Amino acid sequence: MGTRRGAEVLGRRALNRATLARQLLLRRDERDAFAAVDHLAGLQAQEPQEPHVGLWSRLAGFRPAELDGLLESRRVVRTQLMRRTLHLVTAEDCLALRPVHQPMLLARMTGTLGRRLPGVDLAELAAAGEPLFAEEPRLLPEVGRLLAGRWPDAAARDLGDALSSLVPLVQTTPRGLWRRQAPARTTTVRAWLGRDVADGPDDDVLEALVLRYLRAYGPAASADLRAWCGLSGLPAVVTRLRPRLRSFRDERGRELLDVDDGPLPEPGEPAPVRFLPAFDNAVLGYDDRSRVVADEHRGLSVAGARFVLVDGTVSAIWTSAGRDDGGVDVAVSPLRALTPAERTEVEEEGTRLAAFLGDGVPGALTVG
């Protein structure tokens, strides 16, 4: 899977295969779960069970207990970062990246909630809320209710939601553990990790973040990078890095930047069927998502649909339902006509997924 040089234009299929390779979806990777989370710069985790599926689809030897161990040992945490959404990241990334994302988190929060927080001084709200989260893990609305007397014109849920961006917080276990249902309790980063986030935005951290994005998502345009992380002000960072990057064009004429050693598989390389969890960044991590999902299905990517990749692109959605015996049934709804060979591969991979979801208890697989 060597690097091809000198191609000025990369077609959609070439970009698809590059994405699959870098997202560990072209073949299951041998690295462990911690290394995968680090390589991907996090997994979207607003649905607490979904990262387990994302890692199962990417890693050769993944077992749910491995990720559970990382969460319980606090080497990996669930926290608000990219695009003001919950991500599963390493503890080190939580500490380093929160200051980088803080201005964006504040801007997006005020854009969403500002009119619903009349008379609320945000610095005062943060100062009042942080000790309550540090004291013990609490639900966001619970802290909002505790503070509601100070700001009676604001709803408790809005106060809590605002605090999720104002104060560096992490969601605590047992939420996010395999097949466990638990409330979304949060505490401060310092209380959970014993360390504070970095003092402020760091240019070296920003440069490293851009390079990590390209290694895991590239080649990509600046608009793709911005869509993934939600950060503005990156053009200056890209300009500094440009001498270290190579450049391509896509079929629309957009400039695509890339790390020098990023793999570019041949466009004709076979791509196996892969089941993606809800909100997987392999789809959401771009402004132009056409390398993975057709424009007519783009809306499904932000609606929580779980996708099936066939020949590398979104070709079906899937759902699951638990059974009384502990097994899990999986249902696949194609978005296009599948060939007999594709249907067989979907059935085989879906059967393996059902067994994974059921901890080895066989589940039924149906393909509509």
Token digits for 86?
Answer: 């919950």
pTM for the whole thing? 0.94
d(CA 2, CA 331): 37
pLDDT per position as a tens digit, 30-84: 999 999 999 999 999 999 999 999 999 999 989 999 999 999 999 999 999 999 9
Q: How confident is the model at residue 201 (pLDDT cuts 50, 70, 90)?
A: confident
pLDDT, position 304: 87
Q: Report the C-alpha gap between 157 and 214 in whole angstroms.
A: 37
The tokens describing 173, both together, are: 């276990």
| pLDDT mean over 308-319 | 98
pLDDT at residue 5, rounded to an integer: 46
Q: What is the pLDDT of residue 285?
A: 96
Residue 367 pLDDT > 90, yes or no?
Answer: yes
Q: Is 314 a residue whose pLDDT tops 80?
A: yes
Which pLDDT does position 302 carry in this prediction? 81
Least confident piece of the model among 50-54, 93-97, 197-201, 322-326 = 197-201
298-313 average pLDDT score? 93
Give the pLDDT band (50/70/90) at residue 342. very high
Report the length, in residues, of the chain.
368
Give the per-residue pLDDT at 26. 97
Q: How confident is the model at residue 119 (pLDDT cuts 50, 70, 90)?
A: very high
Comparing 15-19, 112-116, 124-128, 344-348, the range with the smallest average pLDDT is 112-116
Q: Which pairs from 4-8 meet CB under 8 Å and 24+ separation?
A: 4/264, 4/266, 5/246, 7/248, 7/264, 8/248, 8/249
The model's confidence at residue 273, banded by pLDDT at 50, 70 and 90, is: very high
Q: What pLDDT score does 296 carry?
A: 93
What pLDDT, on the 0 to 100 scale, is given for residue 233? 84
Query: What is the structure's pLDDT at 202?
Result: 82
Q: What is the dihedral of CA 311, 67, 42, 87, to 10 degrees?
A: 110
Distance CA 143, CA 161 (A): 10
